[in-house]
Structure 1
Amino acid sequence: MVSNDTNCEIVIEPVDGKKGRARFVDCGRAFAARLEHAVPQLRSEQLEMVDPAKNPFFGHARAQLFIARRGEEAVGRISAHIDELALEMPAEQGFGPGTGMFGYFDAEDEAVAHALLDAAESWLRGEGMTRVLGPISMSVWEEPGLLVKGQDHAPVIMMGHHPAHYAGWIEAAGYERAKTLYTYDLDVRGEFPPLVQRIEKSGQRSGRITVRQVRKKDWDAEAAIILDILNDAWSDNWGFVPLTKQEVAYTGVKLKPIIHEELNMIAEIDGRPVAFMLTFPDVNHVLARTGGKLLPFGWFHLLRWLRNPTGSDMRVPLMGVLKEYQNSRVASQLAFMMISQIRRNAAAAYGSKRGEIGWILEDNQGMVAIADAINARINREYAIYRKPLS
């Protein structure tokens, strides 16, 4: 994939169109193939994420993809992109006016890294941006952040995986850390501590709280409920950008095959939905075995796993409680009731041994406290960097 001749001139090539996007994706796949513990993803899904005709993110965003070459060899890639909805957010929440992003960052060496970052920054300046955040690939709801700790084990579903030296290259290019994101590892086989059990039981005794499984036969309606709670619950969080109806519909279709009712909960107070928790079995378990390929027999293994992901690890990517209940005892009751029920179901139905919660913002005190209370431990750390474009 790469040239050993570091004396060759580095050429940064803007790419677009079907062939350009394919080259961009294949460059990233080649880098991932060299990285220990990386899990090959489905190429068709990766192509779709950067296709403006298929990914509804581009309904409110624009992007430029770049590939770095030495001679004929691809030695890196990067995206520069602007989310119009992010520009409308308050600056104190991370984005705001003048904020562009870079993502899909891979580089053979530091010289290539700096050339790619320069190209992304120049494009963003040309589009009127005054600061840059990254890596965010490509929506903040997809793969935000650079993995800076946790390279010693494989990523779970929808989590980025990057070599540790990328951080030094980005920092040497004038970037500083804007925010740290954590993921937490949890053993799902044992009981939770007594305090958590008491809070859970107090919620069960209230008579007002009901925790129910999502109804897959009504998935479109359930996804709409989750969207409404999510956009309210996360609206004050750093990095929040509202999901559009189109994005929710698109994501709902993508996620439906991995939705198992007993692993996904909606909590109601007096019959009104006020909180949710989503849990996905780790499809990376299968993709690692099939090499990320559906042919010739990968599709068989994937379909069989989708029906019954026995032995899979689990990931909780999203949960939310309406703002009116946050920072209250009720919020703790809702969270622990959902977590406890999902934990028991994952262990009983699928023989799961561990789960991963995240990502969680370093300063999200409520979620950090919940993770600490259930004896979860930080197992990965992601960094989002910022730089003025002066």
Structure 2
Amino acid sequence: MKGANMQTNPYHEQVHHHTFSNGFDLFYIEKKGFAQKFAGVMINYGGADQPRDFTLPAGTAHFLEHQLFAKPYGDITDKFEQYEASSNAFTSYNETMYFANFTHHTYENIKTLVELVANPYFTEKNVDTEREIILQELKMYQDMPDWQLNNRLMHMMYGDEPLSQEVVGTEDSLQTITAQTLTDAYNEYYSAQNMKLVVVGDLDFNHLIDEIEATVKQIKSNSSNIVEEKTTFKDEESKVVKVEGKVESPKFSIGIKFSEHDFDVARPQLYIAMQILMETLFGLSGQLYQDLQKQNLVNGEIDFDINFNRQGDFAIVSGTSQNPQEAATLIKEAFFNASINQSDFERQKRKLFGQEIRQLDDFEGYGIEFIESIFDQEDYYQYYTDIQNISFETCTKLISEIKTQSTSQTAILFNQNNVDK
């Protein structure tokens, strides 16, 4: 039934779901009384994905993201501005997202968002113009110390595999992308079944369906050929590579590589255990962080990020230090010898639940993570319950397995005049 409720959670969040005749899914998260609205279309295709039957140049997914804003009448961004919306997009390893935030012209903005992904317009002239813009974007990234460090670290962990390739592409690969390349990528991945629309806010769901249905039906219907494969995981020798660059203070970045397929739990439980471990070790109140601060081995916070992708899973721990090699050594030793007590476990679990539950009021973050969970075939709201229900015994067991199943690599960025330090 059109507009039927789908109550799937104990957190009083009303979610409505409708599938159009071509297989395109619409999810509406109801937020009664809020003026702010968010809408986003996610495509299950990103910079590390490759078709089965042919090869796309590095950077194609990101180039396609840029180029879809071009329409026969000009840049579709102007239409969003006309409707008082702020629009944007991003490309990650396994997904591309087009989204808008707005308070007025609700149905016009959502219809424009669907039009953005439904009607590609690729010409060689537009592609050549966009190529120069993306090359400038790449050069800007290449001047950033954090980009230099992350780029080297990903190559250390994944060699020449797609996951190591910069999502933006390389100077050489960008030169090979043509209008036909983008057409091939669009036809391969931008099908109705391989994209989903999420809307968060207060609106009339049945009216929304009627407003966008004609535009949605312009999206072709066929199955995607995304290769669901993981990088082959193998034991690797831990390495440290020094990089020179434009940086005032040396930086270190540690890549911790693992595979979720080596564990007997679902991805959310593995993420929770790793998040608790990382926060215990590297959070501002963590003992290791306090010790490194007292020894003047880190400047500022220690950052960490956990990534799950079709081609491989990894965490990155990074920071700034005047003695980065010693700091990185101590951090790796702490990680691979880590244990957690019940008091720290309970504290970090409460902290994690509080951080995550607050996201229900962050419409943009909420919408993006909700659609990610749909593509991952996970119940978004079960994640909150998993945080509350995970036991100390389960968490410590997972932490022990994480240490055993992981390998690490380290990249250090020095000022180009002090690379031998």
Structure 1 length normalisation: TM-score? 0.27
From the CA coordinates, give the structure whose radius of gyration is larger. 2
Structure 2 length normalisation: TM-score? 0.26
Bigger helix fraction: 2
